[in-house]
Chain A
Amino acid sequence: MLPEQHDILFSFIAILFGVFGIFVFGNVIQACREREGLNTTLWGGIFAGFALACFLMTVHMFDLVQADQLAFFFGTYVWVVVLLLLTWGMFFKSNKIESQSPPIIRGMFFWTVVSLSLAGYTNWLPQQRSDPPPKEAAIVGDVTMEEFAEMGRVIIFGAKQVAGQKSIGKGQCPLCHGFDPADHMGRCPNLFGVEKRSHDRVKEERYQNLPMKIGETEPAAGIVKGKYDEIPEEYRRQHGPDELTGEDYIRESMMCPTCYVVEGFGGAGDTKSPMPVIVKPPISLSRVEVNAVIAYLQSKDTPGEFASVTVPLPQDDAGNTGGAIAEVVEEDDGAIFVTGKEDIPTMINKLGCPLCHTIPGIEGAVGELGPKLHEKTNAPNRIKDPNYKGTATNTKEYVRESILNPGAYVVFNEEAGEAFPDGLMPTTFSEQLSVQAMDKLVDFISQTEAPAGS
């Protein structure tokens, strides 16, 4: 559901409660008419009031959008219904009419409570929304190797990364592969250090012979093993040495996973890889996309260094016939921009702060690459630090400065016994935040402090 739309579930329950209010009114009137001595006017008036209130609240629910509906439902409507139930019970008891409400009502509430508990349980679990992979779009203009490798990263992990969520891009690689030394997924080999391994692997005897010999064709992929010059033309390497290289190994692993199966990761005695052929459906990477992924894999273990990348840039690639690549889709022409109309968690998640920072009050923001944002207490101390070279004189100025110019003061990581890495934090926030958004963010971060007891 879009935020500006109604919540189907709570709109429906509001209708049910509206009907319930009218039912109770009818029930009370009927009970009064059947018995002598009951004050029909009094009780009828009370329950007519409840029925009217339920009706009006139900109508009001349809004037609200999702978030407001939830707030109103749990903040007001539920309590009115609880009050109605209590009054109804009081009516029964005081007039000694029934010991309890009719089974249909008990059943309805039992049903509603159990079903809503299940919905509540699902909302309590970690939330992860998966967007479809971007469609291919032609690359416009020249790209640098850093940008090209970033495109590869997006293919693997997707464009949007939110703290607490496992990111999976068009390539769907993280479903099975780990990328950090600590990843022990166990389904497929960890790709940490794959660049270095790729050069050694092509020389190993196991690679030469298992599960098939070099020169044999793997039927499912239609690839001749170990023959970079027999790769289908649209993916073939057009440059470089006349021998099998690490780049060829990585490309072959994607295009023909069964050509070589890492020990312990295959079926049928490590002769069959579970991995899909990456250039065929459902992944269907294009030439440029395959190269972008290779560029990322070859450079990911040496951040900022691209000397080990051997694939050509799209503009330099002789085999590129109008290269297409997964388009990085963001809201506005590819760039993240926060207007300030968003709520604080949305803003922070959109900017990606939780990936590196632990931010109290933001769910899932438990990143550890950067300092914890306890600025209400930390900022005054840092300004006083002799090593501080910035110009801020108070907390808000310090926070603003840290966002716009992160290098003004590099925080010392006491747990690790060394400073947090300089240069890791982007310096592009001035282009991504409106003035209003910046003020809102600074106000919020200036108030962050360590949770009580921590």
Chain B
Amino acid sequence: MLGKNKRSITAFSLGLILAMAMYLVPGMTSDAIAKEAFAEQVFAEEAFAKEVLAEEEAAEGEGESEVEWSQDVFYKDWEGNPLKGPVSGFPAPELDESDYNNYEFAPSRMLLWVANQQHLYFGSFVLAVPIFCMLIEFIGIRSKEEDPVMSAKYDRLAHDLMKVSLTAYSWTAILGGVLLFTFITLFPGFFKYMAGIFRPVMHVYALMFLAESGVLYVYYYGWDKMSSDPFLKWVHCSLSVLLNLIGTILMYLANSWATFMQAPGGIDSEGRFLGNIWHVIHSTLWNPVGVHRILGNIVFGGGIVGAYAAYHYLTAKTEEERAHYDWVCYVAMFIAIFGLIPLPFAGYWLMKEVYAFRQQMGITLMGGIMAWLFIIQAVMIGLLFFGANSYLHNGMARVKGSHRYMKYCKYMILLLICCFTMWMTPHTIVMTPAELKAMGGAQHPVVGHFGVMSAKNTAVNLMITTTILCFLLYQKANKKITVPWATVGNCWIAAIFVGAALNIIFLGVYGYFLPANQRVGLSVPQVTTTLTTLFAGTAINISMFKDSESYGDIQWGTQSKVGTYAIFLLAISFTWLMGLMGYIRSAVRLFWHVTEVVRDNSVDAYTLTIGEAGKMLTFNTLFVWVQFVVVFWVGSLTGKKAVAKAPEGVPVPAQQQ
């Protein structure tokens, strides 16, 4: 897809789709089954057996069992009663002033936020890069025989990314240390409780970090040595799979701390550990947060690599360099947008689980004090879609033959603007009594209709569908389709998109006539419709490229400045949005360290105003990018390889059939 090799397009697309499906689909569909039907039953049976055993022991002994049993705050048995477990820890502490330390220059909460966010940003980057390297190196190996030049180009790209990632990896570890010390020094009471619960997980985490480091160093420093022999090259590529596997486990382990704090399980109402560490790890939000973060990492990593390449594109001195970095921009954006498309669905899943855990928490997010933050999120997502489409439109302009489709861009932008407006319309907002009176209620009589989920689902699905359509047009921009069924194929694509749009709109309107509980269910067919356009549209489109003629090669190195700055905009938006969503997820605990179990009794237990939060998000965004610049600069000090000569007019990605 990204080179001349016909197979590579299929391999890359399939790889990404499979990766996405692997993370998303099983998680979404099997979560309830795994958690409720199977795991719960097993756990309940185990607990029941232990309870019986304890009772028997007690009967044989001197009377009462020494083991105290208590009810889990979250897990239930197959009859719906709270699951019981042996009390295996101390109650959650009632924290007071002596459990918190602070500096005079800034509140502890802000310092912890900065330490946490910076570590997460870097962690996200170093987890994402090995995914890219794995895919890119794989494509390079597969295309070596047919196109050695492109293969070398892929290999160089993967190696360069890994070089940057290596410096970032050390940086991530340092930031992790800073975070740990911030916790221990500023929130000792709370950290003591968390360490008591997660003691074994923290040790496993540290050991996994060792394993990650070992594999990473072998993978990077063994690159040249293992490139000479084809078998060793495959072994080397396999190391990247192992690297990703360990990285994912690391992330999931760290996630368990955050998800436990938000929606605890495996403890009783006093915060006492009930003996099953898997319960504590596998709390209700663990899976959706994990999937969401993997997709988020891919998007964020793509954004960083894109910005890195865009910067080098602007500073490039030669045509070869410009062509190379223009191409890298495209690869990075392709990966980022591919991760971006399913991200809202993972977000919906997460919110569904939040509502299932505590409806009140969901309302606080969507209609309470956090509601405005979701409006900001909507604005940011709109910005992302605009940035992505802007890049595609500008990118299309450098493709010969694209004039056939450029005329549709303005209509797509118009549709995006309409959907964006609907998408960012709030349901209810904070109003004065006078404003309420003037409007005749909490909702505006006309605009208020766009504030409900029916309208929002419709809007965001149409935006995603438009982006998919834009991408398909990009794919076929320089293709002269020669297959005999070209007209039929085009009709099918048109029918799929028109039908999808009509279906999405119909379901959205239909939702207004249904009660709320049934209306929620309509999001499933809407999402399915959107995914159908993605998979069916892409499949038909690619099939039509067979034996196609080219209007001409893509003019790499001719990317407009607007397109380049669109990449910058995407990178900033990804960073800011990631911080925003992280803040929302964390802040929804309000005045709890661990929801309903460990109360935050520090002076910083309040929820920030939107303005304060916004300033911190901007600070975190700027601060991390300053660090990225330093890391990239440090990475560039290790010597530059001779630039692999870029092939003359590398064809448009996704058009090599």
Contact = CB atoms under 8 A, between A and B. Distances in A.
Contacts of A452: none
A128 B609 contact: yes
A232 to B, nearest CB: 16
B325 to A, nearest CB: 12
A126 B432 CA distance: 11
B517 interface: yes
B617 A107 contact: no
Interface string A75-112: 00000000000000000000000000011101100111
Interface string B417-439: 00000000000111111111100
Contacts of B568: 107, 110-111
Contact of B611 (A13, A127, A133, A163): A127
Given A122-B611, A282-B360, A128 B434 contact: no
Give the interface centre of A123, A168, A183 by most chain B CB atoms within 10 Å.
A123
Given A104-B311, A111-B568, A367-B433, A5 B610 contact: no
A153 B596 CA distance: 23
Given A126-B430, A175-B363, A118 B622 contact: no
A412 interface: no
Contact of A187 (B363, B565, B619): B363
Interface in B464-484: none
B613 interface: yes
Interface in A157-185: 163-166, 168, 172, 175-176, 178, 180, 182-185
A6 interface: yes
A175 B592 CA distance: 18
B315 interface: yes
A6 B104 CA distance: 10
A323 interface: no
Contacts, number: 177
Contacts of A110: 565, 568
A133 B434 contact: no
Nearest to B612: A1
Given A8-B616, A267-B517, A368-B433, A276 B611 contact: no
Contacts of B621: 111, 115
A27 B368 CA distance: 51
Nearest to B368: A175
Contact of B436 (A6, A107, A182): A182
B637 interface: no
A399 to B, nearest CB: 23
Contacts of A172: 360
B507 to A, nearest CB: 21
Interface residues of B, number: 74
Given A130-B607, A274-B359, A103 B368 contact: no
A164 B517 contact: no
B614 A184 contact: no
A128 B610 contact: yes
A324 interface: no
Interface string B348-392: 000000000011100110011100100110011000000000000
Interface in A5-50: 5-9, 12-13, 16
A442 to B, nearest CB: 25
A281 interface: yes
A129 interface: yes
A132 interface: yes
B376 A122 contact: yes
A111 B565 contact: no
B628 to A, nearest CB: 11
A116 interface: yes
A9 B618 CA distance: 7
Interface in B73-97: 80
Given A7-B615, A133-B591, A276-B358, A115 B434 contact: no
A168 B440 CA distance: 22
A127 B601 CA distance: 23
Contacts of B592: 282
B562 interface: no
A121 B595 contact: no
A366 B358 CA distance: 35
A161 to B, nearest CB: 11
A140 interface: no
Given A112-B622, A115-B576, A125-B611, A130 B590 contact: yes
B432 A103 contact: no
Interface in A406-420: none
A123 B441 CA distance: 26
B245 interface: no
Interface stretch (B105-113, B140-148, B218-226, B288-296): B105-113
B107 to A, nearest CB: 6
A330 interface: no
A2 interface: yes
Given A5-B107, A281-B269, A118 B609 contact: no
A7 B442 CA distance: 35
Contact of A1 (B107, B368, B430, B431): B107
A131 B623 CA distance: 28
Nearest to A219: B80
A190 to B, nearest CB: 11
A128 B618 CA distance: 19
Interface in A115-161: 115-116, 118-123, 125-133, 135
Sorted from nearest, which 7 A-B pairs have the closest CB atoms? A122-B614, A132-B591, A123-B611, A119-B618, A130-B607, A281-B596, A103-B314
11 contacts: A13-B622, A115-B621, A121-B614, A122-B614, A122-B617, A164-B430, A165-B430, A166-B431, A176-B363, A282-B360, A358-B434
Interface of B: 80, 104-107, 110, 114, 269, 311, 314-315, 358-360, 363-364, 367-369, 372, 375-376, 379-380, 428-437, 440-443, 517, 565, 568-569, 572, 576, 590-592, 595-597, 599-601, 605-619, 621-623, 625-626, 629
Interface of A: 1-2, 5-9, 12-13, 16, 102-104, 106-107, 110-112, 114-116, 118-123, 125-133, 135, 163-166, 168, 172, 175-176, 178, 180, 182-187, 219, 267-268, 274, 276, 281-282, 358, 364, 366-368
Given A6-B106, A115-B622, A168-B369, 9 more contacts: A1-B612, A9-B619, A107-B568, A114-B572, A129-B608, A131-B607, A182-B436, A367-B432, A368-B433
